[in-house]
Amino acid sequence: MSLDMSEHRVFITGGSSGIGRATAVALSQLGVSVVITGRSEERLKETIANCKGNEHGYVSLDLANHESLPQIMKEQAAKFGPFTGVFHAAGLESICPINLAKSSRIEPVFESSVWPVFSLAKALTKKSIAAMDRRVSLVTMSSVASARGQQGMSIYSASKGAIEAAVRSLAVELAPRNIRVNSIIAGAIETEMHERITTNLSEDMIEDYKRKHLLGFGSVDDIVNAAVFLLSNQSNWITGTSLVVDGGYLCK
């Protein structure tokens, strides 16, 4: 079955790196018009340069200012057409022993991942932002850290747990508006975030971490496939759920 998504327009956070970037490029290859955000303008431009076609946009934005998302999306929808989907891939890792936890370490994690969920969902309720002639899809990134305890991960785990809880209630609230809401629970995916997480681990610790995934570490394509599925009409009857893509991490 070939997937034609040429009628789709998707707004993506975290489009300057890793999973968000790879998903933007893959969607463009399926005919989707993408608008990406991230803080680094240079890296956003690199993503756009790798996208197929010309109908793409980027907006440099620190998600600490997430409340500006509805206005930004309105402006972009006026340029490219109302959005059929949103992929919230932005996020920030945090490895922080609890005795070092303080607002200045907690806030950046929630600012990049949790708070934007509400602004993105709110934006999709606006006629000028979301395509009204079809079922719209909001997909957010989560992690196995939401479901398993790990040393030093309480802040990150809490942020992803909050996202999954929000997804269920948003799915209930937004179904009457024809909006689906789902998350992807990812295991370790080899991206820049993964490099930063593993850079200070010994070879033995990395091997141990890898062995916890029955199928080893994942690649961005493993998540891209899940994201494309959830953003496409192929998943038209799926809402309020979390799709686990973790190489078998959680089944043990």
Residue 14 Cβ, how far from ligand NAP at the closest point, in Å? 3
Binding ligand NAP (rule: CB under 6 A), the pick from 112, 157, 232, 239 is 112
Binding ligand NAP (rule: CB under 6 A), the pick from 189, 230, 231, 244 is 189
Element counts in the chain: helices (H) and strands (E): 9, 7
Contact 108, 55 (CB under 8 A): no
Binding ligand NAP (rule: CB under 6 A), the pick from 5, 9, 12, 14 is 14
Closer of 131 and 170 to ligand NAP (Cβ): 170
**Helix, strand, coil tally for the chain in percent (to 5):** 50, 15, 35
**Would you count residue 90 as binding ligand NAP (CB under 6 A)?**
yes
Residue 191 Cβ, how far from ligand NAP at the closest point, in Å? 3
Binding ligand NAP (rule: CB under 6 A), the pick from 27, 89, 114, 231 is 89
By CB under 6 A, how many residues form the interface with ligand NAP? 30
What part of residues 118-147 is at the interface with ligand NAP (CB under 6 A)?
Answer: 141, 143
Closer of 18 and 82 to ligand NAP (Cβ): 18
End-to-end CA distance of the chain: 33
**Would you count residue 19 as binding ligand NAP (CB under 6 A)?**
yes
Binding ligand NAP (rule: CB under 6 A), the pick from 113, 183, 232, 235 is 113
Structure tokens at 40: 């680094």
**Would you count residue 63 as binding ligand NAP (CB under 6 A)?**
yes
Closer of 68 and 169 to ligand NAP (Cβ): 68
Cβ-Cβ contacts under 8 Å for 247 (sequence gap 6 or more): 187, 188, 213, 214, 215, 216, 217, 218, 222
Contact 70, 127 (CB under 8 A): no
**Cα diameter, the chain:** 53
Contact 172, 240 (CB under 8 A): yes
**Would you count residue 175 as binding ligand NAP (CB under 6 A)?**
no
Closer of 7 and 75 to ligand NAP (Cβ): 75
Of 204, 97, 109, 221, the residue nearest 159 (C-alpha)? 109
36 to 28, 48, 171, 180, 198: CA distances (angstroms) = 12, 8, 23, 20, 27
Structure tokens at 21: 């970037």
> For binding to ligand NAP (CB under 6 A), which residues are involved?
14, 16-20, 38-40, 43, 61-64, 89-92, 111-113, 141, 143, 186, 188-189, 191-194
